[in-house]
């Protein structure tokens, strides 16, 4: 009786049979094909495969992690947080993306800027075409090459995504993540919370003002206030001029 064996290696979409003439052995290397082999038998299937290949190389949105950030140039190095997948299921890390602009809401001479730190998360948004020249001069520009929908031409939107500790669900709010400092705004009410508040420049307050705690004035103050025993105190240039 003739004994023979063979080994089977599945490599991508190709099956290789190796007849050794020895006892029956079989070794299977499992791979993940880049397309569904059943799709190759129909026109619709081929169309689906083609569309899938196009989408595979079409970059749009991807979560990213900040590696470094220069606030003065507003450029960051971002690590894409979603890896590629090799044919045998291995993760293939993506290269860092350099010279990526970070979204700062701005207009009319006003800007809202964030102190981006290493490890912060957010979203990479890919542009339709190469934007390298536009980033240099910020005027209408032709694309520098034929590159399309690549994260090299993206901008970064910082986003905490999870684990937010919002202090007031009914207000527009700007706050630190730990909640120790905040500015909240809702109809007819502005609330500031901080261990210290520094105001620089001339300050005008219209309306009644209540102070709980000590009030220290470094230069002469002028005004009228009510003391704890309900007396009206008049002060001119830091000197009390009347008590009623």
For 206-229, give one letter per residue: b (16+ CB within 10 A) or e: eeeeeeeeeeeeeeeeeeeeeeee
Q: Are residues 120 and 193 in the same domain?
A: no
Rounded Cα–Cα distance for residues 116 and 69 (Å): 6
Q: Are residues 118 and 174 in the same domain?
A: no
Q: How high is the pLDDT of residue 99?
A: 97
Token pair belonging to 131? 């934007």
Q: How high is the pLDDT of residue 94?
A: 92
Q: Are residues 171 and 152 in the same domain?
A: no
| pLDDT block averages, 10 residues each, the chain of length 244 | 43 45 51 62 76 79 97 97 86 95 95 96 96 94 93 96 89 92 94 92 86 78 80 84 87
C-alpha distance from residue 4 to each of 23, 125, 216 (Å)? 5, 57, 99
Q: How high is the pLDDT of residue 115?
A: 95
Q: Are residues 63 and 154 in the same domain?
A: yes
Q: Are residues 153 and 169 in the same domain?
A: no
Q: Are residues 65 and 99 in the same domain?
A: yes
Residue 71 within any structural domain of the chain: yes
Q: Which domain holds residue 21?
A: 1-33
Q: Are residues 125 and 184 in the same domain?
A: no
Residue 65 within any structural domain of the chain: yes
Q: How high is the pLDDT of residue 36?
A: 65
Residue 209 within any structural domain of the chain: no
Q: How high is the pLDDT of residue 116?
A: 97
Token pair belonging to 100? 């990526």
CATH of the domain at 83: 2.40.50.230
User: pTM of the entire structure?
Assistant: 0.71
Residue 68 within any structural domain of the chain: yes
| Total count of domains within the chain | 4
Q: How high is the pLDDT of residue 208?
A: 84
Residue 203 within any structural domain of the chain: no
Q: How high is the pLDDT of residue 213?
A: 81
Q: Are residues 236 and 153 in the same domain?
A: no
Q: Are residues 231 and 177 in the same domain?
A: no
Residue 15 within any structural domain of the chain: yes
């Amino acid at each position: 009786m003739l004994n023979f064996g063979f080994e089977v290696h599945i490599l991508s979409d190709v099956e290789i049979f190796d007849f050794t003439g020895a006892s029956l052995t079989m070794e299977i290397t499992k791979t993940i094909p880049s397309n569904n082999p059943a799709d190759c038998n129909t026109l619709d299937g081929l169309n689906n495969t083609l569309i899938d290949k196009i989408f595979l190389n079409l970059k749009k949105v991807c979560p990213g992690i900040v590696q470094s950030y220069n606030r003065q140039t507003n450029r960051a190095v971002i690590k894409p947080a979603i890896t590629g997948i090799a044919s045998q299921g291995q993760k293939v890390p993506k290269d860092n993306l350099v010279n990526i602009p970070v979204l700062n809401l701005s207009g009319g001479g006003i800007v809202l800027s964030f102190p981006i730190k290493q490890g912060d998360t957010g979203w990479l948004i890919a542009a339709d075409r190469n934007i390298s020249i536009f980033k240099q001069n910020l005027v209408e520009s032709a694309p520098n090459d034929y590159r399309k929908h690549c994260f090299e031409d993206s901008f970064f939107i910082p986003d905490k995504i999870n684990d937010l500790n919002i202090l007031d669900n009914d207000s527009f709010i700007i706050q630190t993540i730990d909640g120790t400092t905040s500015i909240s705004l809702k109809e007819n009410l502005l609330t500031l919370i901080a261990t210290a508040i520094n105001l620089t420049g001339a300050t005008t307050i219209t309306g009644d003002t209540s102070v709980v705690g000590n009030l220290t004035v470094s230069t002469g103050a002028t005004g009228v206030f009510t003391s704890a025993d309900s007396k009206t105190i008049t002060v001119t240039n830091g000197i009390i001029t009347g008590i009623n």
